[in-house]
Structure 1
Amino acid sequence: MPNTAGPAPGGEPLKHQTDIARAAALIADPSRARMLKCLSDGRALPAGALAGEAGVGAATASVHLARLVEGGFVTVEPRGRHRYYRLAGPDISAALEALAVIAPPLPITSLKQSNRTHALHIARTCYDHLAGQLGAGLMRALLDRGVLTGHDGVHRAGRAAHDRPASYGRDVTYELTGTGRERLRELGVDADRLPPRRPAIRYCVDWSEHRHHLAGGLGAALTARLFALEWVRRGVGPRVVHLTDEGAAGLERTLGLVLS
């Protein structure tokens, strides 16, 4: 996709081709790729935690993180004596998800790796919203209860479709209903107070479920509320989340969501 930067002599913005090779080079290093995956749940993490996840020393991690900051993939903020790193935005996470569709699987050499892979399919974060079976199931429940309208949430590939797994969808448009607005307010999510500069309702095509899950400001707000209620909790490892017993009961009671 062409990029724009500054005005041309005639007043029109200059158009440039994007440097895919440079972006790919930043991700290509295995240590940097592990750091980016670790940050894909939207949290800010200290350099030491990222070094441990990547399996490198502090000095090597510092070099990798400096390159990611310079390339615009990651931002850094000082907190006392430590520096915390965060993905520059949800588009970075979406790009990593898209690469996961075409990337060969990593060999599973331990029970720990097998358990983590299974857990990612069950419930994970896609930047700041829910994905996996839980995310797709939540989207289905929102549609079944009339909170959202516009589609049935199933991804259908074909000549007329442009959506691809692990990316923001554009083929359909979801809308929040009046009933849905009230139902979400009862759950503690005020759809009228979402960040104004971010699309309120977007969807991603979930790469493991081949269904839609809710993204955008509403998806982030709903996910934050579920964490606040302790209906979902962080699991072991990047992006893994677990639905608690209280959360399972609460989602069944409020939205009719029942996960097998």
Structure 2
Amino acid sequence: MKAGTDLAQIASLVGDPARANMLAALMGGTALTASELAVEAGVTLPTASAHLSRLTEGGLLRMARQGRHRYYALSDHQVAGMLESIMGVAAALGPRKVLPGPRDTAMREARICYDHLAGEAGVAMFDAFAGRGFLTIDGGDVSLTEKGAGFFCDFGLDIEAMRRKRRPMCRSCLDWSVRRSHLAGSLGAGMLDRFIALNWVRRKKDSRIIRFTPPGRTAFDKLLREA
């Protein structure tokens, strides 16, 4: 089978407007029910169930049962990365929109991309870490340096546990709003988890928006200056 055939199959799954809205809703990293995704897609529950079956069979979603409910989530970080990249292309090549409102501004500033920090804050963090030599960037490959390992261990991350995971330690993810890269992989997810544990950031309810607490914003900016 030619590679283009596989590409066409994935593109057909993502390309339907209702399914695209469902996938975008799951970019927050949380699992949602069919009823919740039907609302996001603007379709009836039976139609949503049919779409979800196709997405699950196609490998883009995973389903888990809990009591009477079925919960759907993106199958893994690779799917999330693919969707973020598509959003970047759409933002760059799509029709020009009117000036975005406050909600769009908040999404650009800081948001969750599956399980890591994205938006202007995520890009700034990635640039700061690379600039101080904590990360090396070779084309599309990102690697953690020994200097970086020491820094992140001091910040409270278990680097050795991350190295034992099958997931890449760190990788770049094209940010659709800034159109530059932010930090993904185990390291990117670990940093966001640490920010939440330190109460530097809070997630806006029912949204991908990440809001910094006032002390958290100060600490984050200091971290980037001293990184």
TM-score, normalised relative to structure 2: 0.84
Which deviates further from its counterpart, 50-59 or 78-87? 50-59
> In percent, how many aligned pairs have the same letter?
41
Is the contact between residue 145 and residue 255 of structure 1 (CA under 8 Å) also seen in structure 2? no
Structure 2 equivalent of residue 180 of structure 1: 148
> Between Structure 1 and Structure 2, which shows a larger proportion of helix residues?
2
| Greater radius of gyration (CA) | 1
Q: Does 1:40 align with 2:27?
A: yes
Structure 2 equivalent of residue 212 of structure 1: 181
Is the contact between residue 39 and residue 87 of structure 1 (CA under 8 Å) also seen in structure 2? yes
Is the contact between residue 131 and residue 206 of structure 1 (CA under 8 Å) also seen in structure 2? yes
Which deviates further from its counterpart, 69-78 or 48-57? 48-57
Residues 130/105 of structure 1: CA separation in 2 closer, same or farther (3 Å cut): farther
How much has 1:65 moved relative to structure 2?
Answer: 1.1
Q: Does 1:94 align with 2:81?
A: yes
Q: Following the alignment from structure 1 to structure 2, what is the Cα–Cα distance between the partners of residues 116 and 77?
A: 31
Is the contact between residue 40 and residue 238 of structure 1 (CA under 8 Å) also seen in structure 2? no
Structure 2 equivalent of residue 154 of structure 1: none
Structure 2 equivalent of residue 134 of structure 1: 121
SS in 2 for 1:217: helix
Structure 2 equivalent of residue 197 of structure 1: 166
Once the two structures are superposed, what CA deviation does each residue of 1:37-68 show, in whole Å capped at 9, x if it has no partner? 01112222222222222222322221221111
Residues 175/95 of structure 1: CA separation in 2 closer, same or farther (3 Å cut): closer
How much has 1:236 moved relative to structure 2?
Answer: 5.2
SS in 2 for 1:22: helix
Q: Does 1:227 align with 2:196?
A: yes
CA RMSD of aligned residues (A): 2.6
Q: Following the alignment from structure 1 to structure 2, what is the Cα–Cα distance between the partners of residues 235 and 43?
A: 13
SS in 2 for 1:75: strand
